[in-house]
Amino acid sequence: MRRSTLRWALDPAAWAQDNLNFHPDPWQVRVLRSPAKRKVFNCARQSGKSTVAAIKALHRALFYPGSLIILISPSLRQSSELFRKVTDLLDRLPERPELTEDNRLSLTTATGSRIISLPSNERTIRGYSAVDLVIEDEAAAVPDEIYTAVRPMLAISNGEYCQLSTPRGRRGHFWEAWSSDEWEKVMITAAENPRISEEFLAAERVALGSRMFAQEYECVFLEEQEGGMFQRQWFANALVDDWPRDARTVRYWDRAATEATDGNDPDYTAGCLMAAKDGRYWIIDMQHARLTPKGNEDLIAAIAARDGTGTSIRMEEEPGSSGKDTIDHYARRVLVGYDFRGVRATGSKIERAAPFSAACEAGNVMIVRGSWDYNDFIDELCAFPRGPHDDRVDAASGAFSELARRSDPSRLLRYASRRR
């Protein structure tokens, strides 16, 4: 074996610099050279943790014949993205190694090493054994039962386990790993990343609010505060008696999937009427009811007539053909003549509520007194996401997103762009 090849086999950081034109940050060099079998990376967005993970996976496959490397991500899309980082690194090599298998989510080298990228599905993950390296990307979003299923795969091989993520509260196996002496810990905040400007971080702090900014960019494991995302003191001076009548208005509906029956506690149908002008938002009314499907139609039609044709109407569109059929039914039968359309929800409820939470914290959301129960609505906000119901939060978040997107599309794009 040539001296340079032996050096590269023993030093992944040197191999990456010499062969991938990769210039690692000091923390990345330390991670690549560390012999620890358990590593947990608590790193801010865009810090380069996924790139380091891809380098580790490819290095193991090329220099240790017959290795089995498993990459785990919360979703199929994220699995594809992480595996694409591996294939992009392959394309950078001066001499691309021979592959006997090269699929969308897996590859096999001529020396028998395999890299397999999987979404967090317990049924598919349990089929593997004697794994040499597990890399769990966005680990805080991977279900705990996946982690439980994966650990025994390393018993015979004495393999390496790496968890990479930003925090999602003081719960779950990622938090437990960070709190344990069993794992080597690496924390890199956004302020330590030379590729992220102070101006960008200042804008993100305003857009996300202090709590979400602390989590996403400062790597803080947030303690639960009521529900966590909304704080009661934000609304101490938010109650007003009126709103500007020349503001843009939208009514956003979050329909309950099931109706109430004896012995169950289903969701409510909620419809938030919100106005926006000059960067400020007014919650004017919130409908909140448990009804039959026909009762929902009658309520939504009656409220549309009361709001008038000048108010846009949006409704969350459920996934699949049934969701499209429902929106089509409302457009053709219930809300003819109104500015109405369905909106496909993307991301988790927490992610969708984050821009609205930031606006509340900044004091840019007013709540208009009226005949609706705004105190109960504030209670639901402050319990979110741990409360028994979140229908009004979803409706308010949807209305805010619709109005903010029309007034300043970059505001929501900034938040969405941080989700890799």
- Chain segment 332-352, per-residue pLDDT in tens: 999 999 999 999 988 788 888
- Chain segment 371-390, per-residue pLDDT in tens: 899 989 998 998 888 788 89
Report which residue type is found at 322: S
- pLDDT, residue 226, reads 46
Q: Show me where the domains of the chain are located.
A: 3-196, 232-417
Round the average pLDDT of the chain to a whole number and report it.
88
Domain 232-417 belongs to what architecture?
2-Layer Sandwich (3.30)
Structure tokens that stand for 303 in this block: 């409220």
- Chain segment 352-367, per-residue pLDDT in tens: 898 999 999 999 999 9
Assessment of whether the complete model's pTM goes beyond 0.85: no
- Chain segment 259-274, per-residue pLDDT in tens: 544 445 678 999 999 9
CA distances from 240 to 233, 282, 356 (A): 15, 9, 18
The segment with the largest mean pLDDT, out of 22-31, 54-63, 137-146, 250-259, is 54-63
Report which residue type is found at 53: A
Instruction: Identify the band that residue 419 occupies on the pLDDT scale cut at 50, 70 and 90.
Output: very low
Higher pLDDT, 312 or 236: 312
Residues 6+ apart with CB under 8 A from 24: 13, 16, 17, 32, 48, 52
Sheet holding 38-43, edge to edge: 99-102, 106-109, 114-119, 68-73, 133-136, 160-165, 38-43, 184-188
- pLDDT, residue 416, reads 43
Using the predicted structure, report yes or no on whether residue 1 has a pLDDT greater than 60: no
Could you tell me how far CA 15 lies from the centroid of its own chain?
Answer: 33
Task: Let me know if the fold of 3-196 is the same as that of 232-417.
Answer: no
Q: Are 146 and 172 in contact (CB under 8 A)?
A: no
Using the predicted structure, report yes or no on whether residue 414 has a pLDDT greater than 70: no
CATH topology of domain 3-196: Rossmann fold (3.40.50)
Using the predicted structure, report yes or no on whether residue 291 has a pLDDT greater than 80: yes
- pLDDT, residue 407, reads 65
- pLDDT, residue 3, reads 61
